[in-house]
A and B are shown apart, each in its own frame.
Chain A
Amino acid sequence: MTDALDTLRQEVRLWLEGNAPQDWRDHCTTEEAFVDLQRSWFATLAKGGYAVPHWPAGWPGGGRGLAEQKVIYEEFARADTPRLLLSFMSTYHAASTLFEWGSEAQRQYYIPRILDGEIWCQGFSEPNAGSDLASLKTRAERQGDVYIVNGQKLWSTMGQFADKCLLLVRTSSEGAKQAGLTYLLLDLKAKGVTVRPIHQIHGDEEFAEVFLDNVEIPVTDRLGKEGQGWAVAQSTLSSERGLTLLELSARMRGALWRIGDLIRANGRDNDSGILRDFGRLATKVDAACAVADQFLANRIAGEERVGDASIVKLSYSRTLRGFTSLGLRIGGMDTQYHDPITFGGGMETGNWMADFMNSYAWTIAGGSDEVQRNIIAERLLGMPREPKSWTLKEAVA
């Protein structure tokens, strides 16, 4: 077993020597360069068979065991390759949801296109439906073989570069909020779709808003049944909360050298306080990796429980905040000067202020830390749930 893994490690390392982009951090400071690099690097990975190790067996590049995936991610982190930001939603969110809910025809149609480089984004959130996602208002009305969709989506990561969108819409306002939702696959090139990029806190444009004006979506592009959208969306969210974090936590571990570098560069090698904080962080990062590994192993064994993914996400997001904060602290005044940010550098570019601000993406996106805490307390630990309705009268009384 270990021998096979060592062989794989050598294989990946050798392959990366010949194929990993070099010096990309230096020129990846414009959006064009970012998109070019992301596309070409994804194509190279797909050809090399390393783009989607987490996919099930039977698909090119898929069927890698947990231990193999770890080796691959560790080597990527070690070679400091760009993180696949642009195709992240396609290979994780879209693919996982399609594998779980797609019909055979839908899978055969969409999955190969993802490997060909088609970009997906996720259109769940709306201006008035963030944490309370189930209250979303974007409406889809069925007319014969199509749904007519009207509304607005917000915070769609990579939406401005995407070809397709995982779209959660309301098809009914009867009964429970969740029961009226339906899951559609939207072609962003369709008539009536407008996408507008939004500047993120550090100046990068990583997400977009999407306006839908009488957009037609064929009924054949529905995942699951009408009204089943909430259940389908849980697959997407669980992928975001669990699976992706295997890669991200491995990358965070791989990036510990950045803090090590900083400690040396600032002559803090013998500062006990700094060493302790670094040591404590290194162990926390290991724990975040271990819990992501355990999550995936449980999922493969069919033992995932509601709330497990929330633990993985909460532990990652808090650790990442700690990681970037420590970098900021040791980096001192230097981190206050504005350096150009590296697009697609991940959360650990060594541009500490940008990395720190970026860590909020994980404490807010995909269900905020507070929402994860609610899920853990109520679903995993069985504590009583919040009363459903709220009125001003009750609050005052």
Chain B
Amino acid sequence: MSMTRAELQDAADKAFGQSDLAPDAEKAWGLIAEMGFLMMAVPEAQGGLGLGLEAAGVVHDALGRVLVPGPAIAQMLVIEALNAADTLADRDSLIERAVGGEVMTASLALRNSATLLTCVPNADRASHVLLVEEARIALLPMDGLTITPRDTWDKTRRLFDVSVDGSTPQIILAEGNASTALAQRLSMQRSFALAADSLGGANATLRLTIDYLETRHQFDRPLALFQALKHRVADLKTAIVAAEALLWERASDRAMDAITMGALKAHACNVYRMVTEEAVQLHGGIGLTMEHHCHLFLKRAMLNAALGGDADHWEEETGRQALGQAIA
């Protein structure tokens, strides 16, 4: 790829690294589009950067670090689906609009019915929503669809239910075998993005926690001097570093499938949960307040764990797959 991971990371850090946690949604979305983050995975032939999963990982990691709100993950799924629709007449203009920042959204739930899409970010601002079914993948104009806002604990994402009715016009992106293959790719992307977002958040939470332990004094010394606490922090760090190594390894492995990426997602979300749960505990009373930022990460970690299929689902699938492979 033309840009290295480190260069991308730099760019992402410059864009979001300095900002406050959970920055203003409108501004952040503008910045994401302006930085070209949405066009990274788009092939060069269609005016994109053709950078693939690794670059997406850098971006979602950066967004997760500062809890950037908005529909970035959903939007990238739409863009991926549009990329694949090479017979669609106005594909290029749709892609252009999408990478330019016009919101086109998708469900982040593992399963949807043909009539109800759940966990759809920012549906109220979107022009289109992606419908993924076994036999058909289509883009639906939002006009005329019924949306219901769902109030989530995690305020950094705004989720909606979207009711689809049979008369809704559909822009077909893939059908039949092509649709099955694309659905797998979209599932992989979703899992991968949620994993990257989680590890970005886990890292930021750990940093926050260490800073706190170093400043907070009890019993005439910084808390950071207590080994009982240091050891827990070291375990968290070890879990994060190993999960990150796995993330980057799977980002560059072409032989990945939806289950293997789902396993990565489950693993990363387990780590994120563990880190944020420990963070609240290690912050003591302040960790339990709205004044402190800990809870923002905890809530996003809990939401990430539930979106795109939970650990129970993916771990069982992985176990079944590993059982098959181990015996083969």
Contact = CB atoms under 8 A, between A and B. Distances in A.
A376 interface: yes
Interface in B35-52: none
Contact of A283 (B241, B246, B320, B327): B246
Given A261-B326, A287-B246, A372-B234, A282 B210 contact: no
Interface stretch (B60-68, B99-107, B134-142, B308-316): B308-316
Contacts of B323: 260, 263-264, 269, 275, 278
Interface residues of B, number: 42
A294 B245 CA distance: 6
Contacts of B327: 257, 260-261, 264
A183 B214 CA distance: 37
A72 to B, nearest CB: 18
Contacts of A283: 246, 263-264, 266-267, 315, 318
A381 B263 contact: no
List the 10 closest A-B pairs by CB distance, nearest first: A260-B326, A279-B318, A275-B319, A279-B319, A290-B245, A373-B234, A377-B230, A376-B234, A257-B326, A279-B315
Residue among A283, A287, A386 with most chain B CB within 10 A = A283
Contact of B242 (A259, A280, A288, A382): A288
A276 interface: yes
B114 to A, nearest CB: 28
Nearest to A314: B238
A291 interface: yes
Nearest to B263: A283
Contacts of B241: 291, 311, 315
B92 interface: no
A256 B326 CA distance: 6
B322 A373 contact: no
Interface of B: 210, 213-214, 222, 224-225, 227, 230-231, 233-235, 237-239, 241-243, 245-246, 248-249, 263-264, 266-267, 270, 311-312, 314-323, 325-327
B315 A314 contact: no
A14 to B, nearest CB: 20
Interface of A: 256-257, 259-261, 263-264, 269, 272, 274-280, 282-284, 286-288, 290-291, 293-294, 311, 314-315, 318, 370, 372-374, 376-378, 380-384, 386
Nearest to B312: A276
Contact of B263 (A256, A279, A373): A279
Nearest to A257: B326
A293 B249 contact: yes
Contacts of B245: 287, 290-291, 293-294
A265 to B, nearest CB: 11
Given A291-B246, A384-B224, 10 more contacts: A263-B323, A269-B323, A276-B312, A276-B316, A278-B319, A279-B314, A290-B242, A290-B248, A373-B234, A376-B237
B246 A282 contact: no
A288 B243 CA distance: 8
A264 B328 CA distance: 13
Contacts of A381: 210, 233-234, 237
Contact of B230 (A263, A276, A282, A373): A373
A382 B214 CA distance: 10
Contacts of B222: 384
Most buried by A among B238, B266, B270, B320: B238
Contacts of B248: 290, 294
A238 B250 CA distance: 26
22 contacts: A261-B327, A264-B327, A275-B316, A277-B315, A279-B318, A283-B264, A283-B318, A287-B242, A287-B245, A290-B245, A294-B248, A311-B237, A314-B235, A374-B234, A376-B237, A377-B230, A377-B234, A381-B233, A383-B213, A383-B214, A384-B225, A386-B225
